[in-house]
Amino acid sequence: MSTATGRKQIHLAAHFPGVNSTTVWADPRSGSQIDFSSFEHLARTAERGLFDFFFLAEGLRLREHAGRIHDLDVVGRPESITVLNALAAVTDRLGLAATVNATFNEPYELARRLSSLDHLSAGRAAWNVVTSSDAFTGENFRRGGYLDRADRYTRAAEFLGTVRELWDSWTPDGEPGPFAHSGPQFRIEGEFPVPRSPQGQPVVIQAGDSAEGREFAASAADVIFTRHSTLEAGREFYADVKGRLARYGRAPGDLKIMPGVTYVLGDTDADAQERAAEIRRQQVSPQNAILALEQVWGRDLSGYDPDGPLPDVDPDPDSTLVQGRVRVADPVAVARRWRALSEEKGLSIRQTVIESGSRQSFVGSPATVAAALEEFVAADAADGFILVPRLTPGGLDAFVDRVVPLLQERGVFRTEYAGTTLRSHLGLPEPVWKGGTP
């Protein structure tokens, strides 16, 4: 969407700080990850900043490492949809996005819960569709973990299609109608108990960068939550995903591309760089350095000194040491890279992990960060960003106070909410009602 200034507008969302090492809990300002007041503070801050939506990730099993519960990072979180319903009471315009797994839920129940959220928030609900196939997570569910990895998107696509049939089973005029869905994954029938919700169809977000994920997003999602990368890689991804839309009769503006990004602000660029380095050291404690190493090597390396050299042994490619988090794709290649880095610069284990780990996406003064964000969007590397603060609950304050006004001055971010629904914030078209013809 553009305004009178002719500049492409930026969409912003706020991610509740994660349960991984990006979130710095050792900082004295770090508050509760579970008290409602933390969620309220972040959501109110995002709304004060006129953000499109507030985003919650999902956890279905605590991560384990070497058969024991991982204890070094922030852990424990609420059930997303319930928190968002409560946040609907303390916000007026902010979109409310819940991550919910399509593998361990059923379409009827989830369609009803999301439709309820859309009603209770007067049109601000979004669903981030994720899938899972691992038996480790499945141990907490009736379903178990039998789903083949290859079937994840098959199930997710039919799940989403079924949910939309349910949402469309009431006419826009408010008349209920029966539904019947019969497919390889789901055979259900009856009457949906909730009238068509304010957005007609709550917003659908899809997270994932794989070719399957891109195709799924192009066919069915309103927003794609992607990994942040360089400007060039971002442009390539953007062109690829937008290029897939026409096949589904969709326009480029129908799918917003929003990478998840971190940021560090300082009074000057140098000041911000210094803080970013300090944050990186906080994120990689000596214990976390060994853990990061074990995640690559797939071996017990607890006997190694974090301030000493890297192990001589090679990674175990068949390791089951790490459970409940994404596996390192090619551990042997990563190990080779880390060794080369360590030898070249004479780095210890901890220094190597710090040096090779993910950087903060945007580091600088508020002016520098605002310019960089605008550049990304203007260059068609993104439509906006899902900001991941590293502190709960105050991690978004400085961004809203110092960067948002600069984006507004540049004419690339709204100065007030124009509409009341999340669809209107995102500039998405009214969903076409597809019910009535079974």
Partner 1 sequence: MTTSTRPLHLAAELAPGSGRADPGPHTAARTVALARLAEAAALDFLTHDDSFAGPGLDALAVLARVAPETRSVGLVPTVTTTHTEPFHVQAAVATLDWVSRGRAGWRIAVSPTGAEARLLGRRPAPPAAELWQEAGEVAEVSRKLWDSWEDDAEIRDVATGRFVDRRKLHHVDFQGATFSVKGPSIVPRPPQGNPVTVVDATRPAARDTAAHHADVALIRATSAEEAAALRAELRRGARAHGRDPGQLRVLLSLTVDLDAYEGGPGALAELIAGWHGGGAVDGFHLVPAVPERDLERFAAGTVPRLRDRGLFRTAYEGTTLRDHLGLARPLSQYATTGAGA
Q: Which residues in this chain contact partner 1 in the complex, by CB under 8 A?
A: 25-26, 34-36, 40, 59-62, 68-69, 71-79, 81-83, 85-86, 88-90, 104-106, 108-109, 112-113, 115-117, 119-120, 122, 139-143, 176, 186-195, 198, 285-288
Instruction: Give the CA angle between residues 357, 371, 283 to the nearest 5°.
Output: 20
Rounded least distance, CB 344 to partner 1, Å: 28
Which H or E run includes 299?
Answer: none
Tell me the H-state helices in 134-200: 135-138, 152-167
CA distances for 261 relative to 82, 376, 415, angstroms:
26, 12, 22
Q: Give the count of beta carbons closer than 10 Å to the beta carbon of residue 404.
A: 22
Separation between Cα atoms, residue 167 and residue 181, nearest integer Å = 13
Rounded least distance, CB 105 to partner 1, Å: 7
Q: Give the count of beta carbons closer than 10 Å to the beta carbon of residue 403.
A: 24
Residue 55, beta-bridge partner list: 15, 97
DSSP 8-state assignment for residue 281 = H
CB 355 within 8 A of CB 294: no
Nearer to partner 1 by C-beta: 89 or 270? 89
Instruction: Give the CA angle between residues 400, 405, 407 to the nearest 5°.
Output: 100
Rounded least distance, CB 348 to partner 1, Å: 16
What secondary structure does DSSP assign to 300-338, as a single string? --TTS-TTSPPPSSPP-TT---EESSPPPS-HHHHHHHH
Nearer to partner 1 by C-beta: 2 or 82? 82
Nearer to partner 1 by C-beta: 28 or 249? 28
Q: Phi first, then psi: what are they for 144, rounded to 5°?
A: 75, -160
Rounded least distance, CB 271 to partner 1, Å: 25
Q: Which residues contact 237 (CB under 8 A, 6 or more apart)?
A: 209, 226, 229, 257, 381
Rounded least distance, CB 50 to partner 1, Å: 21
Nearer to partner 1 by C-beta: 142 or 317? 142
| Amino acid type, 219 | S
Nearer to partner 1 by C-beta: 105 or 171? 105
Rounded least distance, CB 403 to partner 1, Å: 28
Nearer to partner 1 by C-beta: 88 or 403? 88
Nearer to partner 1 by C-beta: 25 or 238? 25
Rounded least distance, CB 298 to partner 1, Å: 20
Residue 11, beta-bridge partner list: 384
Q: Phi first, then psi: what are they for 166, rounded to 5°?
A: -65, -45
Nearer to partner 1 by C-beta: 109 or 318? 109
Q: Which residues contact 168 (CB under 8 A, 6 or more apart)?
A: 196, 201, 433, 434, 435
Rounded least distance, CB 107 to partner 1, Å: 8
| Amino acid type, 46 | A
Nearer to partner 1 by C-beta: 176 or 252? 176
Nearer to partner 1 by C-beta: 123 or 259? 123
Rounded least distance, CB 196 to partner 1, Å: 10
Rounded least distance, CB 288 to partner 1, Å: 7
Rounded least distance, CB 28 to partner 1, Å: 10
Single out the residue of 397, 412, 341, 404 nearest to residue 367, CA to CA: 404
Nearer to partner 1 by C-beta: 272 or 388? 388
